[in-house]
Chain A
Amino acid sequence: MDNKTKPVSFFLRSVHIWILGAVLVVSAVALIGILRFDTARLALFGPTAQLYLLGIRSGLMWAVGILLSALLLLSIFKKQIENIQTNLENFYSSLSATKQNILVLVLCFVFVFLSNPGNILYGYFNMDDLTIVGLNHVLSFKEAVLTPYGNDHAFPLFITEMKVLDTFFGQNPAPYNFFFFVLFSLIPFFVYLVFKKLGLSMLSFIAFLIIFSGAPAWTEITTGFYIMSIYPQILLFFSIACWGYLSWRESKAFKYMGVFALSLLLATASDTSGIWVIPVIVFFMAGVRYVKTDTMRLEKQI
């Protein structure tokens, strides 16, 4: 290694520690500042402002905990981490494809649940949900399915789901929370199956899982408010359609074309906004045409 590349490689070798350290310092300073701030000073702004402050405070505590743990693990237990990484890699590789899928499915459920446990557990019917349940009580199923909602929404699939859940469980929120949590958790799982077919690494999938499923903005949708699930449902059916298409390309088996067709139908039956699936699936088909499974396969990183 020449003199020029030495500092660069030193920097690159330790940059992850600098990144974690810098964010940890900023978060810790912010936490100290917010802990010293008197919540009562926000009383004039109403309960929401106080709740937001408490939320930021507890979030900062979690963030400092996560950053500190990661920093310690990566700097002090570097060797042990590498061993664990190798063992995990070996363990994952030793599993059959089905077991690998089950493992990732469990990972998706656990990660999505742990991202917002309180929101998923305590979710309860919100606003339009009441209207939809009420609609199913006053109209026949056929009429309800063919009734546009509000200005320009139509979601026969959601009306059907709510009808079934209402028939079996009434107004008990637990089965609804569970059902919509499962649908939401299946999105990263089908993305994993697509990644696998495209030969993308496990690290890429982990990145997707954290950035997509961990995004706090989804809680607007996962805290009850079941009607909002129509939007992630469109994403789920799109993901299934992509997997169905790739599987069909590989095997030419008719059943995968059935999955592809059914997923597209369900995506568009989820809401009128599901219209985006139609052009985008054609883009996807054109995009993967140039991706040959083996040429894009990368070495496993985890």
Chain B
Amino acid sequence: MTFIKENKIPLLVVTGVAILFGIFLFIMFVIVQPGTFLSSLDGDILIPSPAQGKEENWKPKLLAENFVSLFSSGVSLSAVAPDIGKIATHPSVKNLVEPLWPVFEIVIFILNIVLLGIVFKHGLKMERRFIVFLILAIGATIFMVILARPDHSIIPDFDYRYAGPPYYFYCLFLAMTVAMAVRVKKEYATRIIISVLVVILAMQQIFSFHAVRLEAESKLRQEAIVRLNSSFLPELEQLSREGALVIPNLTGAHIFQGMPGYTLADYLLFFNKKMPVQLVQNVYMPPDVKTHIVETVESIRTSTSQEFKDALKKSSVIQSYYTSSVRMSYENIESGGKAAKTIPLGETREILIQQSEFDPEQSNLVLFSFYTDDIPGNLEFSFSFKNDFGVDGEAGKIRVDDYTPYTIENGKRLYHIEVNMLQVYVYALSNKVSEFSLYVPKEKNPSIIDVNLK
């Protein structure tokens, strides 16, 4: 009661903010966009809220596991070794690490309980009470995350969107521990604490490897986006001056490989370019889920303006975007008819799938099966063909990596791949295509057993 009396005004403020926030949430997620609150997104797919599937996600055992995991991996471990999950989840080491990870998490959790016990033993009454606040804060912030965004992976990779608030309170707890250690063992504690802080500082440098990657990617991203704005968009502006233009929506991978989901439509809105350009795409290209300004058409060849097709033959800038080779999406298919023999590869390592001219809208589905050595690593297959735009060399590629599903046969990995070539602009825009070939890489010693164009 004294607490309420003493804190009447701040409690009224908190209640007022809570009511306002409640009204705001009601407007946003009941009136404006109903039915999505507490759901999450996996790419473009909406995952139902845990509340809807709470038998699955909100079981006490799963919640407890998730709590320990988020605290140990996301909060406590991240003080010295963040992002270790990024290495531990790679398929080449995952199988080794997975059985040990839950034990590792439990050990970290127990060590923290021991630390808490020591702090409680030596803390003054008021310090203990403040520690209780910190424990409640850590508990509440973790609990909200595991309710809203449950993650039951064996090796989770929590970033600070989720682990940030409990990490903040954990750091306050450690700072409080420092204060108490100095009070209890003043003579030695300062030196020990300084050395531990130096060790933490050193560990932070070692585990900054992901920061190095982020910096490198950010530089590349800026370079790519600035180049788009200074070279491609002015050309497009020039072309659209003569009248309304219909062009294929350029997928993100052609602009910056690191953001394949962000297409030309997103960049036009980002740079606020208001030009009479209608963007089109076919069903094989990544869908436009954000801007809703791209029209999906049956044939981009028929819909695209002739002016743009002519420019694609002449302009080196437009060519550099629309004819650059990018990674295509592909499907893993169930084993089809298997040929017993391996298709021989010449010195060029190319397989000529079809030499004569054909209509790309009629034949565009490539199915192929191959064996590789059973070792980790990536390999890239690429496609080349003669087309209406005079583009030579590699026009599209697919990357098979350790995440690609495979089966093991006679000690070799067996893959079955299906890829649609209408993702490639020069393929989809050409009237005729010929000399359609598949390039097979050397890595992991692949042997093609079946390849078809349908």
Residues in A lying within 8 Å of B, measured CB to CB:
9, 12-13, 15-17, 19-20, 23, 27, 44-46, 48-49, 51-56, 58-60, 62-64, 66-67, 70, 74, 115-116, 118-119, 122-127, 130-131, 133-135, 137-138, 146-148, 150-152, 154, 171, 173, 187, 191, 195, 198, 200-201, 203-208, 210-212, 214-221, 223-224, 228, 231-232, 234-235, 245, 248, 257, 260-261, 264-265, 268, 272-273, 275-276, 278-292, 295-296, 298-299, 301
Cβ B213 vs Cβ A48 within 8 A: yes
Cβ B202 vs Cβ A122 within 8 A: no
In the bound assembly, the distance between CA atoms of A228 and B443 in angstroms comes to 38
**Top 6 closest A-B pairs, CB basis?**
A287-B133, A55-B209, A134-B269, A44-B377, A55-B212, A16-B195
Cβ A215 vs Cβ B222 within 8 A: no
In the bound assembly, the distance between CA atoms of A126 and B371 in angstroms comes to 38
Cβ A54 vs Cβ B212 within 8 A: yes
Give which listed residue, A16, A137, A282, contacts B194 with CB less than 8 A.
A16
Cβ A27 vs Cβ B175 within 8 A: no
Cβ B186 vs Cβ A299 within 8 A: yes
Cβ A245 vs Cβ B168 within 8 A: no
Interface residue? B83 (CB, 8 A): yes
In the bound assembly, the distance between CA atoms of A232 and B41 in angstroms comes to 21
Give which listed residue, A59, A220, A231, A282, contacts B207 with CB less than 8 A.
A59
- Chain A nearest CB: distance from B201 CB in Å? 6
Cβ A13 vs Cβ B188 within 8 A: yes
Tell me which residues across on chain B come within 8 A of A219, comparing CB atoms: 208, 210-211, 214-215
Tell me which residues across on chain A come within 8 A of B208, comparing CB atoms: 55, 59, 116, 216, 219
Cβ B171 vs Cβ A211 within 8 A: yes
Chain A binder among B56-64, B156-164, B238-246, B446-454: B156-164
Interface of A is mostly: helix
Q: A46-B401, A217-B160, A298-B183 are in contact. Are A151 and B136 (CB under 8 A)?
A: no
Interface residues of B in 148-173 (CB under 8 A from A): 148, 159-161, 163-165, 167-168, 171-172
Tell me which residues across on chain B come within 8 A of A64, comparing CB atoms: 202
Q: Which residue among B17, B38, B185, B376 has the maximum number of chain A CB atoms within 10 Å of its CB? A: B17
In the bound assembly, the distance between CA atoms of A126 and B213 in angstroms comes to 14
In the bound assembly, the distance between CA atoms of A228 and B38 in angstroms comes to 18
Tell me which residues across on chain A come within 8 A of B443, comparing CB atoms: 44
Tell me which residues across on chain A come within 8 A of B1, comparing CB atoms: none
Interface residues of B in 185-206 (CB under 8 A from A): 185-188, 190-206
In the bound assembly, the distance between CA atoms of A295 and B267 in angstroms comes to 58
Give which listed residue, A55, A171, A204, A290, contacts B213 with CB less than 8 A.
A55
Cβ A127 vs Cβ B182 within 8 A: no
- Chain B nearest CB: distance from A133 CB in Å? 5
Tell me which residues across on chain A come within 8 A of B92, comparing CB atoms: 45
In the bound assembly, the distance between CA atoms of A211 and B161 in angstroms comes to 17
Tell me which residues across on chain B come within 8 A of A281, comparing CB atoms: 14
Q: A48-B213, A223-B215, A264-B13 are in contact. Are A278 and B21 (CB under 8 A)?
A: yes
Chain A binder among B2-10, B108-116, B316-324, B355-363: B2-10
- Chain B nearest CB: distance from A177 CB in Å? 10
Interface residue? B343 (CB, 8 A): no
In the bound assembly, the distance between CA atoms of A58 and B38 in angstroms comes to 41
- Chain A nearest CB: distance from B327 CB in Å? 11
- Chain A nearest CB: distance from B87 CB in Å? 7
- Chain A nearest CB: distance from B404 CB in Å? 13
Cβ A20 vs Cβ B13 within 8 A: no
Tell me which residues across on chain B come within 8 A of A60, comparing CB atoms: 205-206
